[in-house]
Every structure is written in C-alpha cells, then in structure tokens.
Amino acid sequence: MPTHDNTNRGALFRNDDKADDKHADYRGEIDVNGTAYWLNAWLKTSKKGTRFMSLSIKPKRERSAAKASAGRPFDDSADIPF
C-alpha cells in the first residue's frame, strides 16, 4: 500500500482543552518542505469586523528537546564550583 505524502500539508483541530483565553482555539501539525511543525490558531476579529485566524508555528523538535532537558536527572558527576 503506498504511503500518503504529507509534505507541505497540515491540519488543525478545535482545542477542546482550552482553559485560558491565551490558549489557541485550534491546534495541529503542519509539514513544510519535510520539516514538522506544531501549528496553533486563534480566532480574531479585525477593527473593521472581519473574522480571521492568527497563526503560530514552532518546530516539533523544539518542544521535544525542551521536555527532554527538563526531565533529565541531576548529574552529580559534574564539577560544581562550590
């Protein structure tokens, strides 16, 4: 069975876990030229009353690296200057 190519494609889903107005209204993923990103969207209204979506993307590896470093146990073999 052929694999579907998701290059330069993405999807957003309603954020049912939204607990704060700053949280995205929609969340999802997008692939841009073979690189995976997290995609967030907020529903907004312009000064003229036009509805639009404001978007934000972050590399997927950025979030994974931050979680990995936060979960690392303390290394007591490192030299401590005090």
Q: How many CA atoms lie within 13 A of 2 on its CB side?
A: 3
What are the domain boundaries of the chain?
10-64
State the DSSP code for 4: P
- Of the two residues 3 and 60, the one the predictor is more confident about is 60
SS3 at position 52: strand
| Length of the chain (residues) | 82
pLDDT value, residue 79: 62
- Of the two residues 81 and 10, the one the predictor is more confident about is 10
